[in-house]
Amino acid sequence: MKKLILALLCLCLAPLSFAQDKRYWGNTALNDVHGIYWTYKTYHAGIVDPGSGDFYYKLYANYRKYSKKAYKVKTEAQYQKVLKDYMKAFNDGHVFVVFDKDITPAKDAKDLRALRHPLAVEMFGGNNAWVYLPTFDVPTDTYKNFAPELEKAKNADIIVLDLRYNTGGNSYNGDIVLEALYGKDFAQNNKNKVYKNQRRYIRLSDFSVNAIKQKYHADYAQKVEEAFKRGETIYWNEPYAGEYKEMEPPLKSKVYVLTDGNCFSACLNFMDQLKGIKGITQIGHETGGDTKYMEMSYAPLNSNLGKFAISYVGYTNRPRKDNETYKPDLKYKDDISDTAKIQQWILAI
């Protein structure tokens, strides 16, 4: 009799359990889509972009579309997929969600950390230097301490700047590399030339002020905070560009920059500057692309099941259009991870 009662209870409770699961994930998805929409509307740099009003219309259109999709969600996997698709719809690599427990990982996802060679200079094929620059997402002291190592490369016949698997980080780390190789005067002059029309702004809010305090030195953070307290909505940085003139590169080596599709954000900023230097040849694969909304911090999802990125910095008049990539002058058609074969290919060039 007890077994019969238990069996009947299971039959009665099973539909209720399914209904609760369906209701929970649908509501959870809708709540998170709604939260992302309002957070971006309140804090994202695109909303106050002085050069374009497109971001708000994209934000609203995506919100309407994915609110409807969220309403139909029944499982956790569908919930995660809807949120990922929602973020992908912005076509912006700085717009993404990270789940605490990701049950829908991309099939082709690679562990880039495992593929990266440590920051180093290694000689190859005689008097040639291979400079591994696997990431800029490290403290600036890491690159400042690395700068003396670049002295090894300055007298090489060939220098290869290896940007494979570099997804960006702090753009100043790229500046340190160029200053070490070309000298501060040339590197700054080149930067003035490349970014002669570009301006950088911060969308002011309690969110961006807190992010700036954590990332930048106290004097700069104080200026940003004071502008916010005055009620300003945008803080404009000083222009990059001072005066510049045409200068011949002081480095006599033949310089190649090796790229792949992971090059993004600060890596692309580094490429902007390399493209301004006479005689540098890009090899390998086409880079990735990004938009003018950069410098992220994170906010928790309403569900507390993960976090999402928010770009509070924007740029005007960049040297690249949104999602414009850099294509190699010489394309490498074989395995981009095989360093030894690429070295032989370069020597054959």
Q: Where does the pLDDT of residue 268 fall: very low under 50, low under 70, confident under 90, or very high at 90 and above?
A: very high
Q: Look at residue 279 and tell me whether its pLDDT is greater than 90.
A: yes
Q: What is the pLDDT of residue 241?
A: 64
Query: If you average pLDDT over residues 304-323, what whole number do you get?
Result: 96
Per-residue pLDDT tens digits for 228-261: 999 999 999 988 767 899 999 999 999 999 999 9
- How is residue 206 written in tokens? 């309690």
Query: If you average pLDDT over residues 3-14, what whole number do you get?
Result: 39
Q: Look at residue 16 and tell me whether its pLDDT is greater than 50.
A: no
Q: What is the pLDDT of residue 107?
A: 78
Per-residue pLDDT tens digits for 93-123: 999 999 999 998 887 778 899 999 999 999 9
Q: Where does the pLDDT of residue 128 fall: very low under 50, low under 70, confident under 90, or very high at 90 and above?
A: very high
Q: What is the pLDDT of residue 20?
A: 42
Neighbouring CB atoms inside 10 A of 13's CB total: 10
- Residue from 213, 215, 119 nearest 174 by CA: 119
How far apart are the two ends of the chain, measured CA to CA in Å? 85
Query: If you average pLDDT over residues 273-298, what whole number do you get?
Result: 97
Q: Look at residue 28 and tell me whether its pLDDT is greater than 80.
A: yes
- The answer to whether 315 and 290 are in contact (CB under 8 A) is no
Per-residue pLDDT tens digits for 216-230: 999 999 999 999 999
Task: Give me the residue label for tokens 């190699």.
Answer: 328
Q: Look at residue 10 and tell me whether its pLDDT is greater than 60.
A: no
The 3-class secondary structure across the chain, one letter per residue, is CHHHHHHHHHHHHHHHHHHHHHHHHHHHHHHHHHHHHHHHHHHCHHHHCCCCCHHHHHHHHHHHHHHHHHHCCCCHHHHHHHHHHHHHCCCCCCCCEEECCCCCCCCCCCCHHHHCCCCEEEEECCCEEEEECCCECCCHHHHHHHHHHHHHCCCCCEEEEECCCCCCECHHHHHHHHHHHHCHHHHHHHHHHHCCCCEEEEECCHHHHHHHHHHCCHHHHHHHHHHHHCCCCEEECCCCCCCCCCCCCCCCCEEEEEECCCCCCHHHHHHHHHHCCCCCEEEECCCCCCCCEEEEEEEECCCCCEEEEEEEEEEECCCCCCCCCCCCCEECCCCCCCHHHHHHHHHHC
- How is residue 301 written in tokens? 């999802």
115-171+192-198+245-289+325-349 homologous superfamily: 2-enoyl-CoA Hydratase; Chain A, domain 1 (3.90.226.10)
Q: Look at residue 14 and tell me whether its pLDDT is greater than 80.
A: no
Q: Look at residue 51 and tell me whether its pLDDT is greater than 60.
A: yes
The larger pLDDT score, comparing residue 226 to residue 11, is at 226
Query: If you average pLDDT over residues 160-178, what whole number do you get?
Result: 97
Q: Look at residue 312 and tell me whether its pLDDT is greater than 60.
A: yes
Q: Where does the pLDDT of residue 310 fall: very low under 50, low under 70, confident under 90, or very high at 90 and above?
A: very high
Distance CA 214, CA 283 (A): 37
Q: What is the pLDDT of residue 4?
A: 40
Task: Give me the residue label for tokens 């104080």.
Answer: 222
Q: What is the pLDDT of residue 104?
A: 86
Q: Look at residue 327 and tell me whether its pLDDT is greater than 70.
A: yes
Q: Average pLDDT, whole number, for the chain?
A: 92
Neighbouring CB atoms inside 10 A of 162's CB total: 23
Every domain of the chain and the residues it spans: 22-99, 115-171+192-198+245-289+325-349
Q: Where does the pLDDT of residue 15 fall: very low under 50, low under 70, confident under 90, or very high at 90 and above?
A: very low
Q: What is the pLDDT of residue 19?
A: 40
The larger pLDDT score, comparing residue 5 to residue 178, is at 178
Q: Are strands 254-259 and 234-236 parallel, antiparallel or unpaired?
A: unpaired
Q: What is the pLDDT of residue 8?
A: 36
* Rg from Cα positions in the chain: 24
Per-residue pLDDT tens digits for 58-88: 999 999 999 999 999 999 999 999 999 999 9
